[in-house]
Structure 1
Amino acid sequence: MSSNKLKLISLLALPAALIYGAAVSAEEMVMIPQGSVTPFFLKKDSVDSNAASKVKVDAFWIDAAPVTNREFQAFVSQHPDWHPTNIKKIFSDAHYLDHWKNTQGADGTASLDTPNPDAPVVNVSWFAAASYCEAQDKRLPSTDEWEYTLNDNERDKENLQKQIISWYSVPNRAPLAVKGQPANGFGVFDLAGLIWEWTADFNSYMAPPDSRNSGDKTQFCGSGSLSASNLDDYAAFMRYSYRESLKGSFTGKNLGFRCAKDAK
């Protein structure tokens, strides 16, 4: 058994009060306690017509910060099938790892030069993100887990909303290094204001199509109100709508991910 797994087992043996919400240095993960979250939209397979219904979220682990260029570069080195020159077209679009540069060492071997090793990796597809997490014996967080972690038991809710909306209003730019801002109450960094993040079931909700580019602002806001749990939460509307617009092979220059794992 690996030393990391032994450390994780030792931590799980501790009283819950000592580990819930505390960063785990062995794997840079945080234990999120059991709770509930109110999804912004209904799930596509939901039989409940009440969008405001709370969903139970079991305790789980989540990465303290998004996966970085440095970490993903190590993964690509160990799993060359995910190198930009080798990845199958069905698993990614043409912009996969677009911000990385192909270089050639003195020995003639090909490598990848990352612009900022400590910035979150972006331009990765859902398939690549899921494969990375699997290689770490982890998985992508569900949308409910991710939203519950962001909600942070509604601590500092007003300032969080302002931060998110402020970030949405700024044109896309290269992400800065992770952990540049304080962690939330759970001890998790960079859930808002740095990048968008993949979730395991990113398109499982009945979010309306994003019609901002159609010029019909009435349709954009109006359709978004259907089955919404909180009409004032514009930031959540943007997140759910953005996820629904994605496909597993898509990449984006501000789209990255972090991993999670079950607490059991």
Structure 2
Amino acid sequence: MSSNKMRCFRMLILSSALFSALAISAEEMVMIPQGSYTPFFLKKDLTDNVSSKVSIDAFLIDATPVTNRQFQTFVSTHPAWHPSNIKKIFSDSHYLEHWKDASSLIEAQHLDAPVVNVSWFAAEAYCEAQGKRLPSTDEWEYTLNDNNRDKENLQDRIIRWYSVPNKALLPVKSQPANGFGVFDLVGLIWEWTADFNSYMAPPDARDSGDKNLFCGSGSLNASNLGDYAAFMRYSYRESLKGNFTGQSLGFRCAKDAK
């Protein structure tokens, strides 16, 4: 991401925040305790040794993905992120295309379904407007890992979800929460993370325009070559650009623990 684009993005967030003196109320969040987990792609430390564990500080994460209802409230108070106003550098042409028009949804029952067709920039702006941020990939994966509770069944659920064509999204909390008390990490949508494309290829390679890099460049450092579900998550993230939107791609917010 160029420095000029990021600077413009930050200025837009600040101006959006000043536009409305009314703060959007904080949504339900879950405290995730400090811990560690083994990521799918292992990282090298400063001594060039491969580390199998990543330590995670305690943090808060939204109990559910952000819904159409919540994002509609954000758009109404931050008009720069309205479908008719959003700058092209911050989103592609499919931004919020599932909404009927500039202010309403196709059907009322979709209000409590996860918002999709939002870019990384829009997701980050929403979280900042709530005094939050997007979760890091490690935080998101650690929350999904759930201290290895029900690991085999979780992987089976993810693979079954991958095998089913996209369909109308259910409301959030249609499935049970995991052991941390977090809903809908799998089985509903894909989700943006703050550092979504920072794992499988170095920055210079990601900027080269080669769309096939994510398919194999990071596989040598994979912790479990049989974990197809994790490979799909990381490879999908690595293929994205910040202005991309998708009909199954949404987000949730996180926050540092105080």
CA shift for structure 1 position 243: 0.2
Match of 2:39? 39
2:175 paired with 1:194: no
Indicate conservation of the 8 Å contact 2:191/2:252, yes or no: yes
CA distance in 1, matches of 2:226, 2:160: 16
8 Å contact 1:38–1:53 — kept in the other structure? Answer: yes
Q: Does 1:231 align with 2:230?
A: no
Is the counterpart of residue 113 in structure 1 residue 105 in structure 2? Answer: yes
| SS of equivalent to 1:113 | coil
Shift in alpha-carbon separation, 1:85–1:133, aligned structure 2, 3 A: same
Indicate the SS of the match to 2:112.
coil
Count of matched residue positions in the alignment of Structure 1 and Structure 2: 226
Q: Is the 8 A contact 1:165 1:235 kept in 2?
A: yes
Q: What's 1:151 paired with?
A: 145
Q: Deviations over 1:148-198 (max 9, x none)?
A: 000000001111000000000111223211000100000000001100000
Q: Which residue of 244, 248, 251 corresponds with 1:257? A: 251
Q: Secondary structure at the match of 2:103?
A: strand
Unaligned runs of 5+ in 2: 1-21, 206-211
Counterparts of 1:1-264 in structure 2, within 5 Å, are 27-42=27-42, 47=46, 53-102=52-101, 111-115=103-107, 116-206=110-200, 225-264=219-258
Distance apart, 1:227 and its partner CA: 1.3
> Normalised by the size of structure 1, how large is the TM-score?
0.79
Which consecutive unaligned segments of at least 5 residues does structure 1 have?
6-25, 103-109, 210-215
Which amino acid in the other structure matches residue 75 of structure 2? V
Residue 205 of structure 1, CA deviation: 0.2
Deviates more, 1:173-182 or 1:238-247: 173-182
Which amino acid in 2 is paired with 1:175?
L
For 1:112, what is the secondary structure of its paired residue? coil
Once superposed, what is the RMSD of the aligned Cα atoms?
2.6
Q: Which has the larger radius of gyration?
A: 1
CA contact (8 A) 1:174 1:254 kept: no
Q: Equivalent residue of 2:221, what SS?
A: coil
* TM-score, normalised by the number of residues in structure 2: 0.81
Change (3 A) 1:246 1:225: same
Counterpart residue type for residue 64 of structure 1: A
SS of 1:36's equivalent in the other structure is strand
Runs of 4+ in 1 over 3 A off after TM superposition: 2-5, 45-52, 222-225
Q: Is the 8 A contact 2:98 2:117 kept in 1?
A: yes
Relative to structure 1, the CA distance from residue 137 to residue 232 in structure 2 (aligned partners, 3 Å threshold; closer, same or farther) is: same
Task: Pick closer, same or farther for the CA change 1:50–1:232 going to 2, 3 Å.
Answer: farther
